[in-house]
Each structure stands twice: as C-alpha cells, then as structure tokens.
A and B are shown apart, each in its own frame.
Chain A
Amino acid sequence: MRRVFRLRLGRATLAREVDDELAFHLQMRAEKLVTGGMISEEARREALRQFGDIESVRRSCLTIDQQRERAMSVSDILSELRQDAVYAVRMLHRNLGFTAVIVGTLALGIGANTAIFTLIDAVLLRKLPVEAPDRLVAVGDPGRPGGVSMNPGPQGDLLSYNAYQRLRERAGLLTGLLASGRAEPSVLIEKTAGAEAEHPSGRFVSGNYFKVLGVPAARGRTFDDAEDRVIGAAPVVMISDGYWTSRFARDPAVIGRSIVVDGTPMSIIGVTPPTFTGDVVGRPTDIWLPLTMQSTLMPNRPWLSDPSVHWLLLLGRMAPGVSLDQARATLESQVRQANADNGSQGASEKDLREMKIYVSSGAKGFSRMRGAYELPLLTLMVGVALLMLIICANVANLLLARAIARGREMGVRLAIGAGRFRLVRQLLTESVLLALLGATAGLGLAWWGSHVLLALAADGAPAIALDVRLDAPVLAFTVALSALAVGAFGLMPALRSSRVDLAQALRAGARSVNSNALGARGQRMPMGRLLIAGQVALSLVLLVGAALLVRSLSSVEQADTGLDRDHLLIVELDALAAGYRGDRLASLTQELSERFSRLPGVAAVAFSENGIFSGTESMNSFSVPGFVARTREDSVAATDRISPGYVTAIGGHLLRGREFTAQDAGHAPRVVILNETMAQHYFPGTNPIGATMRFDDTTAAEIVGVVASIKDHDLEGAPIRRFYSPYLQFGAGEPGSLRFEIRASGNPADLVMPVRQQIKALDPSLLIGGIDPLSLLMRQSVREDRLLARLASGFGVLALLLAAVGLYGVMTYAITRRTGEIGLRVALGAQRGDVIAMVVRDALGLVLLGLVIGLPLALASARLLRSQLHGIEPSDPVSIAIALVVLLASAIVAAFLPALRAARVEPLVALRQE
C-alpha cells in the first residue's frame, strides 16, 4: 500500500477522515446494541458512553495525523530529491565527455565573470577597513590622491594646506577632519656608506589621521595632534604591517628606530594593523609622514606655506545624526569661503561661484584607479556577460541535442506515469548539478584569473596592489550568476524535452527520436538552430567591440607624438633630496650632461623639470597683453622647464625663432618658448616672436620660439597648450625635480647600465628615481586601453570559438539526421561538390541570419564604447569589416568539416540504415 506519488493531505481532509472513522464506529456499536434489544435513541447514548470523551479522542487523532503528514511530506521530498540527484549523477557520469565539455565551458564563463566582478568589487565597491567607513565624508576629487596643482585661483578638487587649516577650525558637523597628500619619500634604512635608497609608497597625513579613521597602532603609537602643532618639528613616521614585514622582518625593536627619509633622520613610532593599507585604494601606503614635515623633506616645494599649491584630500568624520547631504551643503560653502579667504589672486566672484567643489562619501577612500578603470571594468563586465550568454546558448544546445537523444527514455517514463513536472525537475536537477560543478571550477579559475588580470593591467610594471579575494559579495555574485545560468540553459531544454509526443517517441524504435517528436510541430526553425543564430549575433557584438578597441589602441600608440619616441631614455634623479640647490644644481646638470654625451651610442642629451610621460605635470597662470581672457582656462597653460637644446634633443621641431641657449640662465632676461597650439590660441595668424607674456605685475618674459606641439604626457587627445621656460633661470624659483632625456642612436635600453654607472661615479649619494625607455613609459600611460583591448580580443576570440563549435555541432547533428537523404541524392547522381555546397549553404544561412540580427546590435553597443575610442569612430567600417570577415571565415571552416563528412556518405550504406 506504499504510495509512490502522493499529495500532501490538508487539515480539512484529515479532520473529515477522523470524523468518518469515529462515526462508523459509533454507528456499528449502536446497531449492535439495538440488536441486543435497546431502542435506537438509548443505543446511541450508550455507544457514546462506552466510547468515552469523543472530543478529546478526535483532537488527539487529528494531531497525530497532522504530525504524520508533515513527516511524510518532508521525507517524500527528500527521497525524491535524492532519487533525482542519484539519477543525475549517473547520467552525467555515463556521458563523461559531454559532462566535461559543459562543465568546462560553464567554468570558463563563470570564471571570467567572477574574475571581472572580483576586480569591480575591489576597485569600485569595497569600503575602507576603518571604523564605520560610511560615516566618512571626502572633500576633494577622490580620483586625484597623487595630485599637486599650482594655481593661484580657486580650486575645488584639491585643497591647499591653508584651506585645510581653515576648514578644520570650522568643521562644525564633523567630529574630525584629516588631510592626506602625495609623498614620494626616498628612504635609507641602514645609515652605512653606499647604501641604496629605496622608494616606498608614502603619504603625508595630518596628525589626527589615525584618530579620525579609528585605526589604532598594532605596535607603538599613532600620530596625534602634537604632530600638527609646529612646522618641521615632528621627525617621526608610521609604517605599515607589510613594510614592517618586508623591510624589518617583523623586528619588535623597530619602534624607536631611526631611518633617513629624504636626508632627514626620522624615528619609527608605530606599525599599523595588517588590514589597514591607507586611504588610497590600489596603492597601499608603506610609510606615513606628518604633514608638517613636508617643507623639511621637500625643500624648494612650499606646499605648506603657499596657498596656491593645492594638493590635499580631506576625510571628515560626520558627527552622530548628521547626514551626508547636510555635511555636503556645509562643506561646500566652507570650501568656497576658504578659497575666498585665500584671497585667491585673480579670482572673480564668478570664478568662485562656478568652481566645482567635490564633496562625496568617503567610505571607499581615494583611488586614481576607480576613475581610470571604472569604464573599462564595466565595459568588460558587459563583454563577459555576453560571453556568458553565448555559453548558456551553447550548453542549452548541447542539452537539447541530448534531450533529443533521450526522447525515448522520456517517452517511456511518461508512459509509465511519471508526471511532466517530475521530468522537468529531473532534467533541472542535472542542470543544477552541472552549474554547481561549473561554478566550483569557475571560482578557482576566477581566483587565478583576477591575479592574471592585475598583472596584465600593470603591463610590465609591478602588479597593481589590489586586495582581490573571493569574499561574500563575490560568492553571492557567482551563486546568482550560476542560478541565472541554470534558468537560461536548463529550463528551456527541460521544458522542451518533457513535451515529448508519446506515440512518436515510442514508435521511433531504439534510435533517437527526431525533433518532430520533440514538440517542434509546425516550426520551421528548430530551437537549436535559432540558438546558433543568436550565438553568431552575440559573437559579432563582441568581435566588433574588440576590433574597435584594438584599432583605437593602435591609432593611439602610433599617433604622431612630435618627438623621437623610439630612441629616448628618461632618467629621473632625486637631486634635491641629495642636497643639490642653486649653483650646485646647475653644475650637476652640466657635469652629468657632459658625462652622458661622452657615452657611446648617445646622440643627444637634454634635461627638464617634469620630463616626458613622467606623470608629473605643472600648470601656470599668466596673461598675454592684447589678448582678452574670456574664461579662466584662457589664463592657464601647462608648462615645463627645459635645458638648452631640449627640443632638438628629443626629436621635436622648432617652427620659429630659437631654442634656449646656455645664456638663458641665472638673471638673464626671462624668455619662453610656446608650442604651436598655444601660439595659435593667443596669436592667431600673427608671429608671436618678440611678444611678451606677463606672470604677475613684476615679471614678464619674451617669446623667443615656437615648437611643433608635442604629446609629452598623454597619447590620447590633441596636444594641450604649453609653454617652456629655461631650466636654469632660477629667478622664477628653483625647479622641484630633475629629469634627463637621453637620445640614443640605437636601442635606448642598452644605455640603462652605462647611464647608471656614470651617475654612481659622479655622486653615489644621488638617488635614481628611474631609468626607463620612453616607449615603456608611453605604453604604461595607455595601460588601461591596452588591458581593455587585450581582454576584449581574448573574449572576442573565445566567443568566436564557442560559436564555431556550436555551429559545427549543429551541422554535424543535422547531417547525421539527413544521412539517408544525402545518400539518396548521391545515388541519384549528385556530385560531392553539390553535397558540400548544400551543407555549407545551410550553415551560412544560419550565420547570415545571426549577422542580420547582430549587426544592428553591434552598431548600437559600439556607440557605448565611444568614450574609450580615440582616433576612430564607433561606426569604423574597417573594424566592422574585420569582425564580419573573421566570423564568416570561422563559420565556413566550422561548416566545412561536417560537409566533407556528408560528401563521403556511401549511398548504399546510408539507404540501408533507413
């Protein structure tokens, strides 16, 4: 009497059954009593009496029955699930190859998606590991943690030290306001002769930094307000757990130890906890320096005293009950006020009113990467999502093909009474199992993949130090993705194959059921073929995107930069940290220039302050007599200080006038050279040579030359307005840094060692910031584009492969089904070529349908890429043509193999099979 498929009984049914059972008993008993001579009324009362408390019996029977129902339905479900799972495992095990292919492709898709999401999590989503990160408010542009801007006007994306002090005094809605800014310390850990300085990643921070963030010291103590009181009086540093481990081997005696930072002895007072790596995401801080030490450590850079130097970002902790909107309103007006109080030179009411002020949530800290990688990462996410769709289509197709092969099995199971729901559930269990296996393998792939991505993104430079890990949001993402995938690839074949036409399926004999039996009645396009067309369409979208990005990158990389990009070596020296000032700096440049020039293979030597593709840029404001500045941008331009002969040395072209000479030094009359962009802006149609530029009331400079514009910091976009001043003309203040540009006659990389030796020979204490071929620096400047182009190509090729494999599978299957027909055709005299043409034509029909669907999609999505494309339009015909040709070629190859097999069909064998 064991029921295999049973429905759970409701309480009403159970109650009715108990009542019926008890009524039957009472009736029988009463009848017996009547037979014994009682009248019926009395018999009924007597039966009730003999029964006892009927209400309580009824209640306890019902309770017992309900308990039994509950226990049974739970165990029923469990045992059915177990049956399904056991069956699914057996099926998957029996078709190991099939299972491996599906799990492999799913792992690829889930892995790629999870890897990209891991990066999105680390770069865009994760919060700082500090106390209550949501209560932090950021002032300044969070994308410029390394920014320094010299600008006498008002500025809202970075703040001056002066503005910070004013804000801190007034911060009413905040319980604390910290400041942090760029630092590039040169550190000597051992004070022995000949020790090499190192360049840990550093950050100048206010004394309340750790208090406001709520980060305690793991060892020693943190900074406190004492470090903020007097400029230059706090020779102390904090180091990170990572730096303590890598450079001090976790020596407990590190507290109190003295190290030399930029020539100044400073003592280590504390180590941070291992989870805390600073306020800048993607660039963990090794060493924290008190803000008040900036002028001591960086001479000639008056970043504390000069209110026109904007370089600080602020994080405030909101007082309890204060909302971000309240804090924003107050802070915006305070930043405006602080800028006005600065007496911002030349700032009009209008400038102040219109300046953009950045106040946002500080929960995620600061990051240059967030701005730089947000769009590429989201683009990639869309790309891998498309890839996942293609994979789901592929898997669905495989499952569908197998469902057709299993049509008979389904028919039999339906015939012996299995419900359709039960069959769908069975097939879905298999899909869930496949997804589970795929997700597990995919997670492993993702962990590995995200590290590969980081290395790719760094592009030769040390890998970006991002803490990528498979944490809760990532796991949740993977689980959700896998569940969606099951719905996408599992549900449709399951529903389809359970709709088997019983009679057809059973009649079809031991061989597979054809698709007519699988509910394809009256449909001209079977599901599998539609999926192929869909895959082709999605692949086209990915391929067009990839082609556009690759072509954009190559147009950027091959852009005319106006200099000799392949032969320059850029040498960065920390001369100021080594104590070179004034005349000593001048003679150092002279001495090194001569030494470098004498090296074999050196064609020319020049030097400058900011150099080329160094990541350091200066802006300066000025006025041009006779030119009416309409906007603030009209009185600001990029600038650099360069050596005599600089333009020729780096391979630039002088268009008018002259270069600087050795005479343009010291207190000689001030002169400037303009680039062409700037000359055309201020002197359209006239010759600027001999005209003057005014810097303030007392300083003016004569324009002595015009150079063809050089792309010296950014490969993308048009060159910006720029002017050059002589490096050695110290009347305008001494330069803050020194970089040499050495032009090689051969490969500049060959000069790295000789140049290093010359520097060491002249002064072993001189710190080298870097010696790199320009081509490497240029490549690094477009590394986001390179990463995007590479990955998009990779995903494009993967999509292409999957679509080709799918097409191959569908065609092979179609030919197997049509073996008889093909045999008949051959028997009737069709040539092999005819057969091949027939099959290929069939396949191309599918591909063309896919292209017709895909092309508008590709064009629409290309438009989303517009902001990432340089030098080409989103509708670039060459990219689209490349994608189409590649796709068609692969499709023909994929179709040709089954076609060949079809052509080899022996008519007799084929006909006998029918």
Chain B
Amino acid sequence: MIDPEGGLLRGTLDVLILKSLSWGPRHGYAVAEWLRGATDGELLLEEGPLYTALHRLERKGWLASEWGFSENNRKAKYYELTRAGRQQLRAEVSSWERYVRAVSAALGAAAPKPA
C-alpha cells in the first residue's frame, strides 16, 4: 500500500486515523505519534497531509472536533469519532481484512498442477 512517491494511499491514511481515534479523543499530534509508533515510521513520511485528512474526515461527518487542553496544559484541538465515523471504521476494517485474505491466499498458493 505504498504509492509511487513512497507516501500513504489516501484510503489507508483515513482508516488508520479512524483507528487511532477508536480509543477516545486525541489531538492531531497524538494521532501522528501513534501512527509513527504503530507503523515504525514507515507509512507517514510527512506529517502535514495528516491534518488535511483530519479536516476532510471532519467535513465528511466522521469526526467531530472540540478545543480542549493537552497533557501539558496547552490549548489543543481534539478529534473524536462520530457515530458515522465508527461505522465507517468497522466497514473499512472488514473490507481490508477480506482484501488481505484474498491477496495473501493468492500469493501463498502452490504452483498449479499441469492440466
């Protein structure tokens, strides 16, 4: 799932953001840190596109946002999954799993017997 420039495909970034928020509200930096740790820094080469994605998901109604205070007491914008966002996450995860199963089955197949 790596595009020619080495970045994330848009759909993959979206589903990972949804996943990162599935344990509760986070601000953008926390999402970035989680992504870094969870993917060993392999997927997100630049952090800017993460914010474009957050705003886009909010426009779609999957995320809601609110200003709050961070751990070190700074004003930060917190994102949260909406009900629609949660449904979207479930749908994406199950379709991702089907996709992975299908691709791994094909990749792990033995050589076809000669007919």
Contacts and interface: CB of A to CB of B under 8 A. Distances in A.
A54 B74 contact: no
Interface in A753-772: none
Given A1-B64, A1-B80, A20-B77, A25 B52 contact: no
A20 B27 CA distance: 12
Interface string B87-106: 00000000000000000000
Nearest to B76: A24
Interface string A42-74: 000000001111101100110011011001000
A21 B59 contact: no
A461 interface: no
Q: Is the interface of A mostly helix, strand, loop or mixed?
A: helix
Contacts of B77: 17, 20-21, 24
B75 A24 contact: yes
Contacts of B64: 1-2
Interface in B45-104: 46-49, 51-52, 55-56, 58-59, 64, 66-67, 70, 74-77, 80
Contacts of B74: 24, 27
Nearest to B30: A28
B48 A64 contact: no
A52 B49 contact: yes
Interface residues of B, number: 23
Interface in B23-43: 27-29, 32
Given A60-B52, A61-B52, A64-B55, A51 B75 contact: no
A21 B52 contact: no
A52 B80 contact: no
A29 interface: yes
Nearest to A66: B59
B7 to A, nearest CB: 10
B28 A25 contact: yes
Interface in A57-99: 57, 60-61, 64-65, 67-68, 71
B29 A52 contact: no
A22 interface: yes
Contacts of B75: 20, 24
Given A1-B64, A60-B52, A68-B59, A21 B46 contact: no
**Chain A: interface size category:** 20 to 34
Nearest to A21: B77
A132 B80 CA distance: 67
A65 B55 CA distance: 7
Contacts of A61: 51-52, 55
Contact of A25 (B49, B51, B59, B67): B51
A1 B66 contact: yes
Contacts of A60: 52, 55
Contacts of A50: 46-47
A57 B29 contact: no
A446 to B, nearest CB: 48
Contacts of B32: 25, 29
Nearest to A32: B33
Contacts of B46: 50-53
A476 B51 CA distance: 52
A54 B52 CA distance: 10
Contacts of A24: 27-29, 70, 74-77
B49 A29 contact: no
Interface of A: 1-2, 17, 20-22, 24-25, 27-29, 50-54, 56-57, 60-61, 64-65, 67-68, 71
Given A24-B76, A25-B47, A71-B59, 9 more contacts: A1-B64, A20-B77, A22-B51, A24-B70, A51-B47, A52-B48, A57-B52, A64-B55, A68-B59
Interface of B: 27-29, 32, 46-49, 51-52, 55-56, 58-59, 64, 66-67, 70, 74-77, 80
10 closest A-B pairs by beta carbon, nearest first, are A52-B46, A52-B48, A57-B48, A64-B55, A68-B59, A28-B29, A61-B55, A21-B77, A25-B29, A51-B48
13 contacts: A20-B77, A21-B77, A24-B27, A24-B74, A24-B75, A24-B76, A24-B77, A51-B46, A51-B47, A53-B46, A54-B48, A64-B56, A68-B59
